[in-house]
Structure formats: C-alpha cells, structure tokens
A and B are shown apart, each in its own frame.
Chain A
Amino acid sequence: MNLGRVPAPARRGRVRVAAAVIAAAGAAALLAACSSGTSVGGKNNAADPGSKYGFKTAAQSAASQITVWVDSTRLPAAQAYNKAHPNSQVKIVSYDGNANGSNSFKTKFSLFDRAGSGWPDVVFTTDNNSASWGSLDGTGDLAPVNKGLVPQSTLNGFAKGSLDVCTLNGVTYCLRNDLAQNVLWYNKKLMDQWGYQVPTTWEQYEQLADKVAQQHPGYIVGSAGDAWAPEIYMWGAECPANDVTGPKTIKVDTSDPNCVKAAKMLDSLIANKTMSTLSLFGPEFAKQQGSKVLMLPGPDWYGGSVFQGTLKTPKGQIAVAPALHWADQNPPVTGDVGGGAWWISSHSKNLKAAEDFATWVTTNNAYQADLAPGYPAYTAAAKGWLAKQQSSGYWANDIAAPILAAAGQVWSGWGSAAFSQESIWAKVVQAGMAQGKTIESLLPAWQTEIENEAKVLGYTVSK
C-alpha cells in the first residue's frame, strides 16, 4: 500500500471512513442493547417463593402449544405422547440430545438468553449435569420441579438418589429418564466351564484376574479404555475426585487412599493384560478382544449396547452379578455411567403442559417399560422394564435382582459438575496411558486438570 502524500480528496475519504466506522459502532451498540446481556455468572435471581411454582414464571397461556426437544432414541416417546393426547399435541423437534460432548443444550440456550426468546419448553439430554449451569444460581433457564411444579408423590417414585444429579441447594431441576448403575456382567458359560466363582468384592475380582492371566491369557475381565472408566472404578471406590458441594464449590483429592487403591488395581490388571485399554465401541476392540470377554464391570446399558449390539455375543451366555464393592465398604456402593434427564424451561409459557409431558414420558409404562433402551429411573416402570428384558430369553440368569439392588447403591459423593469428568480423564489419563504411564502415576496430573477446569468454570476448589 503506497502511503505517500495525502491529497485533498483522500482526506475527505478518510473522513468518510471515520463516519462509516462510527455508524458501524452505533449499529453494534444497538445490537448490544438488544441482547439481554446474560453471560458469565448471570445473576438472574428468579427465585420467588410467592409464585405457584416457586420461581418467577413467564406469562402463562393454557392453550399454547409446547415445543419439546428429543434425540432420535426418544423420538418414539414424544410420538407416543402425541398419539395418546390427540387434543394437546406437542411440537417435536429432534436434535443431537447433547450426546458426544456436543454441548448443544447449553450453547443454544446461551444464544436464546442473549436474544431474549426462542427457548423450547421441554428438553431431553443424554447426560444429566445441566443443573450445574442452568439452576437458579446459574443462568436460571431451568424450572425447579420440586417447588410445586411436579407433585411430590411423583418425585418420590423415582429411584433413591436418581434425582441427586440435578439437585442443588435442595432444589431439583430435572426428571431423570434412566439410570445407569454399575453391575458386574460376566460370561456364565465360560465361568462355569472354567470353574471360576463369581467375585463379590474388588479384592476377589483382582485375584480372579490373576488366575485368568495365567490360565487363559488373552481373556479380559474388564475395560478401562473409555473415558467413563472413572465412573466405574473410581466412583465405585468412593474416590473424592468429583465431590460437588454447592453450585460453585467442589472438593477434589485424587491422592485419597480410595483413589490410589482403585488405580493400583487397574494398573496391575492392565499389566497382566486382563484389563483392556481399548475403547469398547471402537473397531479395534471388536476385532481383537470381542470374543474374549470373561467379565465386564459396567453400567446396566452394557447389556444391550455391548453384548447384544457391538459384540453380538450368542444368547444364553451373558449373566449379571451384583455390583462389585470394596470389602471395607459399608454399605456397599457402586458407580453410575450416564443416564439421561428431562428438563423443563423456566421460560415456558405453558408449564402445566410441559409438566404433563415430562411426567408422562418418564413414568408411563407404554414407553419406558416396553420401548426404552435403558433402565428407567422411575421405579414402577423399572420393574416392568426388567421383566421385559428377562422375557427376551437372551440372558443366562435372572438379571432383575442384581440390577434392582444396584439402583439403590449409587454413591452420592460423586456429583454433577459443569465440566465433563470424562473429557478430563480422556485428555490426561488416557493420553498418559497411551504413552505407557501407570494410572497411579497420573493421579496428580488428573487432580491438576480437574482443578484447572473447575476454576475456569467458576468453581472454588478445595481438598
């Protein structure tokens, strides 16, 4: 660009540039004024004990149609609702369900918040930590359900502890769709054939693994190749790596003996090759270890997704045993990997209809017991679901008892934070494992990353 002397017309040109920039700045300022400006730590204190539902609602209109967001798996649920309610049909919109770390729910709602409009009425997510950002202490987008919106009797019908993930300061924000409590899956045919006894504690499990390593090398007793491994092994060991104590406070201590003993167990099983480090749903696992699964501690959805789905294990081989626990645990606890939830928007103009929909899809047997792929969080529906699964004849034993028992054993000390524990584990521990490090040696790095992520999202971290 040749910047020589500036002749008169160019000076006028410069004035015009300045004018244009000022005009643009004015338009941008108008834009800023139009946006409601909710952003970091928006103090939208909408709690209102005087209101019917315990929070400040938008103007209600009993006839307005509600919009529900579902993922493709839950689409039949919404369609079933419409079929059963021809006079109050809901508008169904399908989206990715917040799966695969997409964060769609939060992203879209933060845009709607800024624009001041556009929120749907009910949203389904395959994860359940939305209360960490959407509660009345956060953006205020989520409607409290236990302050008058949903009858307490309905809320009591959910499995014990299942609503804890979306409860902050005593206020509950979701209706849990399904539970994913951990149990012990095993191949009964092989266990009987080799004369092994099904372990009940992690200590017994480790001893059995040593035997398997010597007598039947190549077979695996568990998998630590996915990002949810801490939700199986660490959660079940009562490791305080995710102790959410308040809306913005968390306690993290990965050097706790509980974490260390779980890490040591994993390391020794990885070393004797009975613990797989491949992702269960990746191509390599199916190809090389798919037919060599002896045991697999994991959530109740492993049955459908892993054995029937990915591995296509023949029927009559797979059975379920009660969840493993550490010998010194009293009462015994287990972990939980996932479990979806339904959220009602606090901006809804027809909360009654929203509540009706959310309650129907979570409690109704016609969907939850017969069609749902996962263990329903609503206890009555869960019994129906278990019966239906058993009647398929695929399982080698009675799967209802251990799964039902484990539903009440999920440890409450592992909370639901605004950041993803899974992505932290993948980023730090799995990446370190790939370079040959032991999990025990990675515990400090895991601690550091949890602290960093928590602080970035506004949490106060303590030990």
Chain B
Amino acid sequence: MTALATRESSAPTPQVPTSTSGSRRTAGSRRPRAGHFFVLPYVVLLALFGVIPVVYSIYLAFTKAGGGFAGFSNFTRSARDYRFVPAIEHVAMYVAIWLVALIVLVVLLALVVHRLVSGKAKAVVRFAYYIPGALAGASSVLLLLFVLDPTVSPVAMILRWTGNEHFTDVITPHHLPVIFAIIAFWTGAGGWILVLYGALNTIPAEVMEAAKVDGAGPVRTALNIQLPMIRKWVSYMVILSLAAGTQLFVEPELVSQASFGIVPNDYSVNQLAYQFAFTQNDFNGSAAISIDLLVVALLCAGLFVARGKLFETD
C-alpha cells in the first residue's frame, strides 16, 4: 500500500495546510486526508449514536443512582440478583446449540444455492429462505402461539411425534433453548445466506474454473478454495452471531408474550438488563449488565478478528 500512498500524495488532492510537519508518506500524518472527508458524515453519526451512548452507559455502570462514584457495586448487585445466574445458563445453552447450527447450516446452504445452475432457481430459493426474516416482533407472537400449540399447529405432527400434546408441554424449560434456536435460525438464516451468497459471488470466475479443471469436486472446492476466500465474511458472521446470541432478547420475549407469561420475561441476560432499566428503574444496574455482555462479545470478537484477519486490508 505504500506505493499507492506515495502516488496519492503526489496527485492533486485537496490538502489543508497545517503547521505540523509529519512526513507525507507515513500513515500517521495529522493532515486531513481525502479519507477523512469520506468518513466524516459517518464519524458524526458514530459519535452521536454510537460512542456517546456507549460512554454514557459505561458512566452509568460505574456511578450510583444519585450521581456519585459507585465502583463495582452495580456489577456485584446485578450479579447477585436471583435471576442472573439462571439467565447466564439459559443463554450459554442457547448459544451452544444455535451458533453451531447457524454457522454450519448457513455456510452449507449458501454453498449449495450458489452451485445451482438455474439463475431462476437460485433467486426463488434465496427469496423463499429469506421471507421469515421479514417478520419481526409483534407479527410473530400470534404465529408462535399457534405454531407451538399441537392442537392447531401446522406442524402438529412433528410436535406430537416428539411427545407434546399441549402447548404447555412444548414450552417446558428444557425445550426452550432448542425452541429459541429454531426460531432464531428461522428468521435469521435467510439474511446471512444472502450475505454469504454475495460473498461467494466475489470469487473470480477464473478461480472456480481452474478448480473445476483441476478435477476438484464440490466439497474440495468449497473447503479449499471458496471458504478460505470468504474468510473475512465468515468471521464477520461469526462475530455478529456470537454477539447476537449472547444478547438473546427477541425470541424469549415473543414466546413469553405468546405463552401469557409462563415463559418468564427475564429468561435471558439481555432481558434482565431491560427489566432492570424499565421495570425496576435501575438504569445503573442495567448498564452494568450491558457492559458484562459487551465484554463477553468483545473477547470473542477479538479472537475472531485475529483469526479471520478482519482488519487487514490488501
């Protein structure tokens, strides 16, 4: 990239003269580059709706309700809540099931759909797989109420076959991680299949041709050529899905409404944060729980950013 940088600085680009020297060739120059102008609107929005809220939440997490410094007391208080540990267990079980299923199946389906010959078939399949992703929130509550009830469900046969005769049988506690995983996959897979499909499209046709000529079958092509080339996309998906999984909120909230409260609305850690803020009026404790979730997500993200080389450019 250094050669490019040299060329950039020799071409006529708008330059604001500053008093600092700073070599024009090094990336750490303080003089506003064209890049700064490209990202400026985004930086404004990022500051307003990203950075300030995050910093404010950190501020809340370490202060008391009245305003004084609280140390770690918000964290210990929220962690000692009787719902905290069960919520962590619930989320851990859910993530273990859902994340693996999501990654494996989405990658598999994206590869398979990409391999289809007919463009029409590809379009139809992508559309069909995406439709559930358009449903969100309130739309799904009624749907869940009926689909999970063996007496009226369109999938009654499957429910009965797994030994459930009544709605309350289906939503017993040890079924819940699986149910939430299925719902989350049902709504979320289509979008990610779309993204990975687009990613697979970015692999130049010559590479695929060469692999074919080499005699590589679909599985070998996928494992040795396609997946490595979309590594950044896959690691992006893993990071976001991990965060989304640990921040499980929508699915238990919907099933809680559909079950009229039998599934509680503090099942997951994120729901607990919400309850702290808006039921108990304890915004500080809520912020502490959110920071807990953020730290977990960051640790996992760091791991995948490194392995997937997400931050490296050409």
Chain B 37-87 interface residues, beta-carbon cutoff 8 Å to A: 47, 51-52, 55-56, 58-60, 63, 65-67, 81-82
Return the CB mask of B126-144 against A: 1 if under 8 Å, else 0.
Answer: 0000000000000000000
Q: Would A1 and B311 count as touching, CB distance under 8 A?
A: yes
- Complex interface: stretch among B21-29, B109-117, B193-201: B21-29
Q: Would B260 and A24 count as touching, CB distance under 8 A?
A: no
Q: Would B265 and A457 count as touching, CB distance under 8 A?
A: no
Given A39-B282, A133-B281, A284-B166, do A12 and B30 touch, yes or no (CB 8 Å)? yes
- Decide if A8 is an interface residue (CB 8 Å cutoff): yes
- Complex interface: stretch among A100-108, A301-309, A312-320, A369-377: A100-108
Q: Would B166 and A24 count as touching, CB distance under 8 A?
A: no
Q: Would A427 and B145 count as touching, CB distance under 8 A?
A: no
Return the CB mask of B241-261 against A: 1 if under 8 Å, else 0.
Answer: 000000000000000010111
CA of A277 to CA of B260 in the docked complex: distance in angstroms? Answer: 13
Return the CB mask of A1-34 against B: 1 if under 8 Å, else 0.
Answer: 1000001111011001000110011011101100
Chain B 82-132 interface residues, beta-carbon cutoff 8 Å to A: 82
Q: Would B52 and A27 count as touching, CB distance under 8 A?
A: yes
Q: Would B283 and A28 count as touching, CB distance under 8 A?
A: no
Given A32-B59, A434-B169, do A100 and B257 touch, yes or no (CB 8 Å)? yes
Nearest neighbor of B151 in chain A, beta-carbon distance = A284
User: Chain A residues near B226 (CB, 8 Å)?
Assistant: none
Given A27-B52, A283-B149, A434-B262, do A9 and B29 touch, yes or no (CB 8 Å)? yes
Query: What is the distance, in angstroms, from A188's C-beta to the closest C-beta of chain B?
Result: 29
CA of A114 to CA of B286 in the docked complex: distance in angstroms? Answer: 15
Nearest neighbor of B23 in chain A, beta-carbon distance = A9
CA of A139 to CA of B151 in the docked complex: distance in angstroms? Answer: 46
Q: Would A426 and B261 count as touching, CB distance under 8 A?
A: yes
Query: What is the distance, in angstroms, from B28's C-beta to the closest C-beta of chain A?
Result: 2
CA of A40 to CA of B30 in the docked complex: distance in angstroms? Answer: 46
Nearest neighbor of A448 in chain B, beta-carbon distance = B82
User: Chain A residues near B207 (CB, 8 Å)?
Assistant: none
- Of B58, B171, B260, B265, the most chain A CB neighbours within 10 A belong to B260
Main secondary structure of the interface of B (DSSP, over half): loop
Nearest neighbor of A452 in chain B, beta-carbon distance = B82
CA of A41 to CA of B282 in the docked complex: distance in angstroms? Answer: 9
Query: What is the distance, in angstroms, from B164's C-beta to the closest C-beta of chain A?
Result: 11
Q: Which residue of A37, A430, A435 contacts B66 across the interface (Cβ within 8 Å)? A: A37
Given A1-B311, A24-B52, A427-B261, do A284 and B167 touch, yes or no (CB 8 Å)? yes
Q: Would B56 and A31 count as touching, CB distance under 8 A?
A: yes
Nearest neighbor of A107 in chain B, beta-carbon distance = B278
User: Chain B residues near A10 (CB, 8 Å)?
Assistant: 28
Given A31-B52, A423-B264, A426-B260, do A283 and B146 touch, yes or no (CB 8 Å)? yes
CA of A16 to CA of B149 in the docked complex: distance in angstroms? Answer: 57
Query: What is the distance, in angstroms, from A69's C-beta to the closest C-beta of chain B?
Result: 17
Nearest neighbor of B165 in chain A, beta-carbon distance = A284
Q: Which residue of A1, A12, A16 contacts B305 across the interface (Cβ within 8 Å)? A: A1
Nearest neighbor of B150 in chain A, beta-carbon distance = A284
- Decide if A462 is an interface residue (CB 8 Å cutoff): no
Chain B 143-173 interface residues, beta-carbon cutoff 8 Å to A: 145-146, 149, 151-152, 166-169, 171-173
- Decide if B284 is an interface residue (CB 8 Å cutoff): yes
Q: Which residue of B63, B172, B282 contacts A40 across the interface (Cβ within 8 Å)? A: B282
CA of A27 to CA of B50 in the docked complex: distance in angstroms? Answer: 12
User: Chain A residues near B152 (CB, 8 Å)?
Assistant: 283-284, 287
User: Chain B residues near A226 (CB, 8 Å)?
Assistant: 260
Q: Which residue of A24, A103, A434 contacts B279 across the interface (Cβ within 8 Å)? A: A103
User: Chain B residues near A41 (CB, 8 Å)?
Assistant: 65
Query: What is the distance, in angstroms, from A113's C-beta to the closest C-beta of chain B?
Result: 9
Query: What is the distance, in angstroms, from A116's C-beta to the closest C-beta of chain B?
Result: 15
- Decide if A279 is an interface residue (CB 8 Å cutoff): yes
User: Chain B residues near A1 (CB, 8 Å)?
Assistant: 302, 305-306, 311
CA of A40 to CA of B73 in the docked complex: distance in angstroms? Answer: 15
Query: What is the distance, in angstroms, from A130's C-beta to the closest C-beta of chain B?
Result: 13
- Of A39, A107, A278, the most chain B CB neighbours within 10 A belong to A39
Q: Would B59 and A423 count as touching, CB distance under 8 A?
A: no
User: Chain B residues near A139 (CB, 8 Å)?
Assistant: 281
- Decide if B2 is an interface residue (CB 8 Å cutoff): no
Q: Would A37 and B52 count as touching, CB distance under 8 A?
A: no
Q: Would A426 and B262 count as touching, CB distance under 8 A?
A: yes
Q: Would B262 and A28 count as touching, CB distance under 8 A?
A: no
Query: What is the distance, in angstroms, from B163's C-beta to the closest C-beta of chain A?
Result: 13
CA of A41 to CA of B66 in the docked complex: distance in angstroms? Answer: 10
- Decide if B280 is an interface residue (CB 8 Å cutoff): yes
Nearest neighbor of A108 in chain B, beta-carbon distance = B278
Q: Which residue of A13, A24, A284, A287 contacts B47 across the interface (Cβ within 8 Å)? A: A24
Return the CB mask of B286-314 against A: 1 if under 8 Å, else 0.
Answer: 00000000000000001001100001000
Given A24-B47, A24-B55, A423-B265, do A103 and B65 touch, yes or no (CB 8 Å)? no
User: Chain B residues near A433 (CB, 8 Å)?
Assistant: 168
Q: Would B264 and A427 count as touching, CB distance under 8 A?
A: yes
- Decide if A431 is an interface residue (CB 8 Å cutoff): yes
Q: Would A40 and B151 count as touching, CB distance under 8 A?
A: no
CA of A434 to CA of B262 in the docked complex: distance in angstroms? Answer: 9
Q: Would B59 and A284 count as touching, CB distance under 8 A?
A: no
Q: Which residue of B51, B67, B151 contacts A283 across the interface (Cβ within 8 Å)? A: B151
Q: Would B56 and A288 count as touching, CB distance under 8 A?
A: no
Q: Would A12 and B265 count as touching, CB distance under 8 A?
A: no
Q: Would A103 and B278 count as touching, CB distance under 8 A?
A: yes
Nearest neighbor of A16 in chain B, beta-carbon distance = B30
User: Chain A residues near B283 (CB, 8 Å)?
Assistant: 39, 114
Q: Would A430 and B262 count as touching, CB distance under 8 A?
A: yes
Q: Would B173 and A431 count as touching, CB distance under 8 A?
A: yes
User: Chain B residues near A21 (CB, 8 Å)?
Assistant: 55
User: Chain B residues near A29 (CB, 8 Å)?
Assistant: 59
- Decide if A227 is an interface residue (CB 8 Å cutoff): yes
Q: Would B151 and A279 count as touching, CB distance under 8 A?
A: no
Query: What is the distance, in angstroms, from B278's C-beta to the closest C-beta of chain A?
Result: 4
Known: A12-B30, A133-B281, A139-B281. 17 other contacts (CB 8 A): A1-B302, A16-B30, A31-B56, A32-B63, A37-B67, A39-B282, A40-B284, A41-B65, A287-B151, A287-B152, A419-B279, A425-B261, A430-B262, A431-B172, A434-B169, A456-B280, A457-B279
- What are 26 A-B contacts with C-beta separation under 8 Å? A1-B302, A7-B26, A10-B28, A12-B30, A28-B52, A28-B56, A31-B52, A37-B65, A37-B66, A42-B281, A103-B278, A106-B278, A106-B279, A110-B281, A133-B281, A227-B262, A277-B168, A282-B145, A282-B260, A283-B149, A287-B152, A423-B261, A426-B261, A431-B172, A434-B168, A456-B280
Across the A-B interface, the 5 shortest Cβ-Cβ residue pairs? A9-B28, A426-B261, A434-B168, A28-B56, A28-B55
